[in-house]
Amino acid sequence: MIELVIEQVRELLKDKSQPVTGETALIGDSKILDSLGLVELCLRLEDEATDLGFEFDWTSDTAMSRNRSMFRTVSALAVEFESQQQAKS
Amino acid sequence: MILVTGASRGIGFGIANRFNSLGFDVVGLARTRIDVAFPTFQVDVTNDEEVRRVALNFKKAKTFPAVVINVAGIASMNLALMTPGTKARAVVDTNLLGTMYVCQAFAPLIARAGGGSIINFSSIAVALGLSGESVYAASKAGVETYTRVLARELAGMNIRANCIAPGPIDTELLRGVSDTQIGEIVKQQILPTRFTVDDICDVTEALIDKRLSSISGEVLHIGGV
């Protein structure tokens, strides 16, 4: 799943030479996407989830938390996406 | 497509009916089942899950509104110290949280439509701090602030968000308010005229016009304050 998220993040980057890994931050000072990019990423993951047969819920009480947010890193988002897929399958 | 909440009566019905008669594709959301000239879905905007479910159905049908107009609201005329907690909660649930739920569920769909406009309804009660409308005014003040922040957050997605704040308009919401009280409020407007649902429809129509694409995060006071 992490490859899927990395691919989607890469597609949203203006500067395609920027490295994207599991540790890449999606919120905070070193975030790689602006808020618009983050929403676009969520919309893309929504579409991916629909294709996979579930609904991806990207609302979260901890969305802006550096320690607990599903958006803190690419891999955290991938884990959340996969966990929602498993919960709803 | 234009989505209007509170479409069963009053200002919501007037706006939905106006756009429908102008040939726009209109969908109304209402708490009760209604028989009108435009399609409607029965939904209680205070129920977050219900709102999200309706939005999901729109998404599945690839029906993406370009305009969302949040009119659904309830009023409460009472003194601050005498308003029962249950009533206060109902007003905040419908006016503020209902608006938030609809914006949150449908803004991503507007983004999928390539951008558009959100119009939320406030009230002259906010600017005038009207006695007897503490809870109602507080809920609408929340709507104004929410809309301003929303406008900032959605600007990059080509979505504008504004508020319309009418004075006393002849709808069921004014039931129980005397003509004298209404006259006192109208006198405080810059244009001391009792405006109508049609006047609100005119402003709503103007707000979604591309010529007002530079306006976002604003509160438009009908009659001026």
Could you report the per-residue pLDDT of B80-106, keeping only the tens digit for each? Answer: 999 999 999 999 999 999 999 999 999
Burial B171-181 (b: 16+ CB within 10 A, else e): bebbeeeeeeb
Neighbours of A38 (CB within 10 A): 20
Residue B202: pLDDT above 90?
A: yes
Residue B61: pLDDT above 90?
A: yes
- Whether residue A81 contacts residue A1, with contact meaning beta carbons closer than 8 Å, is answered with yes
CATH number at residue B128: 3.40.50.720
pLDDT confidence band for B176 (50 / 70 / 90): confident
Residue A61: pLDDT above 90?
A: no
Which of chain A's residues have a Cβ under 8 Å away from the Cβ of B157?
A: 36, 39
Residue A89: pLDDT above 90?
A: no
Taking residues A10-26, what's their average pLDDT?
94
Report d(CA B169, CA B171) in Å as an integer. 6
What per-residue confidence (pLDDT) applies to B209? 96
Flag the least confident range among A2-6, B29-33, B150-154, B171-175. B171-175
Which of chain A's residues have a Cβ under 8 Å away from the Cβ of B104?
A: 59
**DSSP state for residue B82 in the 8-state scheme:** G
A42 and chain B in contact, CB less than 8 A: yes
Taking residues B75-84, what's their average pLDDT?
92
Report d(CA B134, CA B112) in Å as an integer. 38
- Whether residue B59 contacts residue B33, with contact meaning beta carbons closer than 8 Å, is answered with no
For chain B, which residues lie within 8 Å of any Cβ of chain A, measuring from their own Cβ?
A: 56, 59-60, 104, 108, 111-112, 153, 156-157
- pTM given for the model: 0.92
DSSP track, B49-71? HHHHHHHHHHHHTT---SEEEE-
Interface ipTM: 0.79
Domain enclosing residue B135, as ranges: 2-221
| Strand arrangement, sheet containing B67-70 | B40-42, B26-30, B2-5, B67-70, B116-121, B159-165, B219-221
Strands B2-5 and B219-221: unpaired
B42 burial class (0-12, 13-18, 19+ CB within 10 angstroms)? middle
What per-residue confidence (pLDDT) applies to B149? 97
Q: Name which of B110, B123, B112, B128 is nearest B163 in CA terms.
A: B123
pLDDT confidence band for B225 (50 / 70 / 90): very high
Q: Name which of B97, B119, B5, B95 is nearest B48 in CA terms.
A: B97
Taking residues A10-14, what's their average pLDDT?
94
Amino acid at B217: G
* Number of domains, chain B: 1
In Å, how far from its chain's centre is CA B176? 21
Q: Which chain A residue's Cα is nearest to B154? A: A36
Which of chain B's residues have a Cβ under 8 Å away from the Cβ of A40?
A: 111
Nearest to A36 among B56, B112, B157 (CB): B157
**DSSP state for residue B162 in the 8-state scheme:** E
Find the radius of gyration of the CA atoms of chain A: 12
In Å, how far from its chain's centre is CA B48? 17
B159 SS3 class: strand
What per-residue confidence (pLDDT) applies to A71? 95
What per-residue confidence (pLDDT) applies to B77? 87
Backbone dihedral angles phi then psi of residue A68, each to the nearest 5 degrees:
-115, -10
Residue B73: pLDDT above 90?
A: yes
Domains (ranges, CATH) in chain A?
2-88 (1.10.1200.10)
